[in-house]
Amino acid sequence: MNRSEPRPLTLSAPGPLTGSLTVPGDKSISHRSLMFGGLAVGETHITGLLEGEDVLATAAAMRAMGCTVTRSGPGEWRVSGVGVGGLLQPETALDMGNSGTSTRLLMGLIASHAITATFIGDASLSRRPMARVIEPLSTMGADFTASPGGRLPLTLRGISPAVPITYTLPVASAQVKSAILLAGLNTPGITRVIEPVLTRDHSERMLTGFGTDISVEPSDQGRVISIRGEAELRPQQIVVPGDPSSAAFWMVAASIVPGSDIVIRNVGLNPTRSGIATALRAMGADIVEQDTREAGGEPVADLRVRHAPLSAIEVPHDLAPSMIDEYPALFVAAAFASGRTVARGAHELRVKESDRIAAMAAALGACGVEIEEFEDGLAVTGTGGDPLPGGARIASLLDHRIAMSMGIASLHAGKPIVVDDARPIATSYPDFTDTAIALGAEAHWVTQ
């Protein structure tokens, strides 16, 4: 099959899922380790880096701006940085592929450097709005020429010195927060971000490790993150923990396939990312932490997950920021629970790689699941543990999380569920299908 053509895939589980696995390195931490390493003076050594297409787009962009980024083995990378303020003008457009994280964080990185960069991406990324990042970075002095709707392709003209700002996040977004903090690294004075709702804090943790002057304090308005600019970053030894977003698929898979018993090793359990485990446990999932420890400043553990009957819940709205990328997997778990699960408070899903609320409503609905769609989430009436009726072909919409979520749903279905194109999975989890097979599943590449 020509790899430029769609690759339809269906998974099935003829028996329980068993064994142990290691998920790819955390995507958020992988992106940041390359960027911060590129701003340090000296060599940063990274192990466990996610080698999916999104992270490789970040590596290529950092190389284009003068950093030396080399792979020395599986998951092992070295970054020789140019120092804060030392980024060079890229000679060609920065191709972000499908990576919204790369795009938004690099916009912040470049905004306070006196260079110009053009960002391009694939069809999916080019539909995603960038205005929420453009607005605060413009206030700092950067200039943007964007496609209609604040979309890619866009050209950013950075400025040095930029103007420090105090910015209150209008929506919960770790990407917007991080973009402003990155711009603040090369901005004289103190740049502040106020977040009324807690979001993932990988940037704050890692910037502390690299030696920046950063503080986090509570206030009546929310957490206030302050960073002093013109920083000098020290190179680091970074161990990237396993990505909880990738682990979520196997937590759900083991929970819904009868008799399953698996161990997911080295999973990052940062409290700003662990909402999916909290929600699944509330539904009755059997998830036990083993060998809890710390790696690279992040809490990690091995997770033993066994099949268990799931019950419907109303997902607390305040869990949304800590599991925003895991909602598609949660919707699948809800499809097998007893009762009607309501998961709302997730407006952000409308502007991901696809409209994930509409995409999952259509996908699960096509498989015979009763769905009610809201502007900010779904209500899902589950089967009580019985297989989904299935028998549908699902539109992945170039969205890796839709493709993997429905791949997991197909493991316990009466009739095959075909994901129309599995290629987007490579953006975050290149070994997803091989891992499913190793746990006892069967994979079938479907003829067009």
pLDDT for 103 equals 98
**Residues forming the annotated binding site for phosphoenolpyruvate?**
27, 100, 128, 175, 356, 401
Task: Report whether pLDDT(1) > 80.
Answer: no
Task: Report whether pLDDT(82) > 50.
Answer: yes
pLDDT for 294 equals 86
Contacts of residue 316, defined as CB under 8 A and 6 or more positions apart, other chains included, come to: 345
Could you tell me if residue 150 is left (phi over 0), alpha (psi between -120 and 50 degrees) or otherwise beta? left
Per residue in 181-202, pLDDT (tens digit) is 999 999 999 999 999 999 999 9
The CATH code for residues 28-239 is: 3.65.10.10
* Residue owning tokens 């993997």: 404
Tell me whether the omega of the peptide bond preceding residue 218 falls within 30 degrees of 0, making it cis: no
Within 10 A of 358 (CB to CB), how many other CB atoms are there? 14
DSSP H/E element including 150: none
Q: What are the structure tokens assigned to 225, written together?
A: 């993150």
> Most distant CA pair in the chain: distance in Å?
61
Task: Report whether pLDDT(111) > 80.
Answer: yes
Mean pLDDT of 153-158: 98
pLDDT for 2 equals 36
> CATH class for domain 9-25+241-445?
alpha beta
Q: What is the pTM of this model?
A: 0.85
325 is catalytic: yes
pLDDT for 213 equals 97
pLDDT for 357 equals 97
**Residues forming the annotated binding site for 3-phosphoshikimate?**
27-28, 32, 173, 175, 325, 352
pLDDT above 90 as % of the chain: 92
d(CA 402, CA 389): 18
Weakest-pLDDT range from 64-68, 290-294, 335-339, 379-383: 290-294
DSSP β-ladder status, 116-120 and 223-228: unpaired
- Which residue stretches of 130-201 are H helix? 131-139, 174-185
Query: Sign of the C-alpha dihedral, residues 261, 262, 267, 272?
Result: negative
Contact indicator for 105, 65 with CB cutoff of 8 Å: no
**Residues forming the annotated binding site?**
27-28, 32, 100, 128, 173, 175, 325, 352, 356, 401
HSE at residue 155, side-chain half, CA atoms within 13 A, is 7
Mean pLDDT of 258-264: 98
Task: Report whether pLDDT(3) > 60.
Answer: no
d(CA 269, CA 224): 23
List, in sequence order, every beta strand (DSSP E) within 229-346. Answer: 237-239, 261-268, 286-295, 298-306, 314-315, 340-343
Please, what is the average pLDDT of the chain? 95
Task: Report whether pLDDT(122) > 50.
Answer: yes
Closest CA to 38 of 204, 193, 159, 182: 182
Determine which one of 26, 122, 325, 399 is catalytic.
325
d(CA 38, CA 206): 13
Torsion of CA 66, 173, 279, 414, to 10 degrees: -70
pLDDT band at 352 (very low <50, low <70, confident <90, very high): confident
pLDDT for 193 equals 98
pLDDT for 448 equals 60
Task: Report whether pLDDT(274) > 70.
Answer: yes
pLDDT above 70 as % of the chain: 99
pLDDT for 412 equals 98
| Order of strands across the sheet that contains 442-445 | 393-394, 418-419, 9-12, 442-445
What are the extents of the domains in the chain?
9-25+241-445, 28-239
